[in-house]
Homo-oligomer: A and B are copies of this chain.
Amino acid sequence: MREPPLLEFRVGLPAWVAPFLGAFVDPLTTVAARMRLTVALARANVELGTGGPFGAAVFERESGVLISVGVNRVVPEHCSAAHAEILALALAQRRLQTYTLAAFPQALQLISSTEPCAMCLGAIAWSGVYELVTAATDADARRVGFDEGTKPRAWKRALTSNGIRVVTQVMRAEAREVLDLYRQSGGEIYNG
């Protein structure tokens, strides 16, 4: 007989994330330092073979206190929604016990190593985050074979009209190197 439908699922970060975070000094006062951490997460995810070449993190925008991190876990978790941004936002909301980060007293900033795909664009709009900061562009992601999906042409404007600030191309070259590394290492292009 066929088993009954599953009633819950768990999504987790790789085992290396806890010691990795232990090596960073919190808080990170500059946006550059926050992006460096985020790109380093994406790079470690490729080098250690634990998912796609994408990292994300949520910080208190003013203080630089780290709230959560995410890396891409689509292939190992058998979950096409397990993008780095989805994990970082969900882990921040769970930790702060709110479905909208806008309810938290401090403005929160999502740092992401690449511009969001169509799904994450929608997820960011629902998350209550105050600001999005990205490194590699969606063109960079498409160049190595990833599909970013059908996004509204003016996707940055769509976020700003939802009250979310958007800053792009911070440390773009470093994030692009991680995308190239993934392609060179023969990583699976799951939304090809």
Q: In the complex, what's the smallest C-beta–C-beta distance from A33 to chain B, in angstroms? A: 16
Interface string of A12-37 (1 = CB under 8 A from B): 11000110010000000000000000
Q: Which residues of B contact A67 (CB under 8 A)?
A: 5
How far does the Cβ of A152 sit from chain B's closest Cβ, in whole Å?
A: 5
* Cβ–Cβ < 8 Å partners of A4 in chain B: 18, 21
Question: Do A5 and B95 have beta carbons less than 8 Å apart?
Answer: yes
Given contacts A80-B93, A119-B119, A120-B122, contact A8 B12 (CB under 8 A): yes
Residues of chain A whose beta carbon lies under 8 Å from any beta carbon of chain B: 2-13, 17-18, 21, 65-69, 74-75, 77-82, 86, 89-91, 93-100, 117-123, 125-128, 149-152, 155, 158, 161-162, 190-191
